[in-house]
A and B are shown apart, each in its own frame.
Chain A
Amino acid sequence: MKALLEHILKGIVKHPEDVVVVQLEDGDKKVYEIVVNEEDVGQVIGKDGRTIKSIKILLSSLSGKDDFTLKVVR
């Protein structure tokens, strides 16, 4: 799932080389921390969080799992 997340992020940002995804465990939930270039933070979240929501929907549909959180870190 981390690889898929990276593929999507690198496709939509201006600075693909700055994309970093860190996978953490929070109890029994997985957390994916997303670090992107300052300039791309808005793009990744989207208006009213639409883009990050779309990414979440796509990831959970494709993996069949819903027990994870996406976090965009500044």
Chain B
Amino acid sequence: MKRIRIKAESVEDALEKARKKYDLREGEYKYEVKDKGFKGFLGLFAKEAEVEIVLKKRYYERKVEEFVRGILNFAGNVSKVQVRGNGKTYFVYIDGEDVGKLIGKHGKTLAALQHIVTIYVNRLSDVKLNVVIDAGEYRERRKRQLENIAKEAIRKVQESKGKVELDPMFPFERRIIHEIVKKYKGVTSYSIGVEPYRRVVIEYVRRQVNTRR
């Protein structure tokens, strides 16, 4: 996640310095003493202590929650914020009465919030972290909706042996469609057009006849 090296007069001072600078709480970091330091005598041969601090998942979960809550304070009644880290991905679940505002047309506001929170968390980390935000289960519902759209289109394509062009979608929505099409035999999918009007085409593929056998 992130490794920080900090020097101070003593190990305890170095830890205190780090806790202050990064707003760390108990249980949110691990540390290793790199150099115990040496007080020296008569002001001679003094050497600073050095510790290496590694920030833990709990730290990122709390910081992301605080940042998102700071934004939602301005969003009316949106009280529920939950953050779960899993490897390099942090899932943020938001819910409350006014959650609609936060989703926007076609999830536009949700995408904007996700982009901003992703920048925020990556400023605190050395390795690239991902953020997925869902509000009022919008993403879950949208995913099921996309699955239905894909299945319906695949059925049509298989019947007509032709092709079907879907409505424009966001890149991550198109990806969901492609994933579903892959599971079916006799159909293929690709995207056409330029953003923001890029859309998926599902097409029938004639069965490959192997002439050599």
Chain A interface (Cβ within 8 Å of chain B)? Answer: 1, 3-4, 7-8, 11-14, 43, 46, 50-51, 53-55, 57-58, 61-64
CB nearest to A7 among chain B residues: B70
A11 contacts B101, C-beta separation under 8 Å: no
A11 contacts B67, C-beta separation under 8 Å: yes
Closest A-B pairs by Cβ, 10 of them: A54-B112, A57-B112, A61-B109, A4-B74, A12-B119, A54-B115, A11-B120, A58-B112, A7-B70, A62-B75
Distance of A54 Cα from B113 Cα, bound (Å) = 7
B116 contacts A55, C-beta separation under 8 Å: yes
Say what secondary structure dominates the interface of chain B.
helix
Distance of A62 Cα from B109 Cα, bound (Å) = 9
A58 contacts B119, C-beta separation under 8 Å: no
B5 to chain A, nearest CB (A): 18
B119 contacts A43, C-beta separation under 8 Å: yes
Distance of A8 Cα from B69 Cα, bound (Å) = 11
Chain B interface (Cβ within 8 Å of chain A)? Answer: 67, 70-71, 73-75, 101-102, 104, 108-109, 111-113, 115-116, 119-120, 123
List A contacts of B111 (CB < 8 A).
54
Say what secondary structure dominates the interface of chain A.
helix
A11 contacts B102, C-beta separation under 8 Å: no
A63 to chain B, nearest CB (A): 7
B79 to chain A, nearest CB (A): 15
A51 contacts B70, C-beta separation under 8 Å: no
Q: A57-B104, A57-B108 are in contact. Are A50 and B74 (CB under 8 A)?
A: no
List B contacts of A51 (CB < 8 A).
115-116, 119
List A contacts of B123 (CB < 8 A).
11-14
List B contacts of A8 (CB < 8 A).
71, 116
Q: A11-B120, A12-B116, A12-B123 are in contact. Are A61 and B104 (CB under 8 A)?
A: yes
A63 contacts B74, C-beta separation under 8 Å: yes
A-B pairs with beta carbons under 8 Å apart, 29 shown: A1-B74, A3-B74, A4-B71, A4-B74, A7-B70, A7-B71, A8-B116, A11-B70, A11-B116, A11-B119, A12-B120, A46-B115, A50-B115, A51-B115, A51-B116, A54-B112, A54-B116, A57-B104, A57-B108, A57-B109, A57-B112, A58-B71, A58-B113, A61-B101, A61-B102, A61-B104, A61-B109, A62-B102, A63-B74
List B contacts of A58 (CB < 8 A).
71, 109, 112-113, 116
Distance of A61 Cα from B71 Cα, bound (Å) = 12
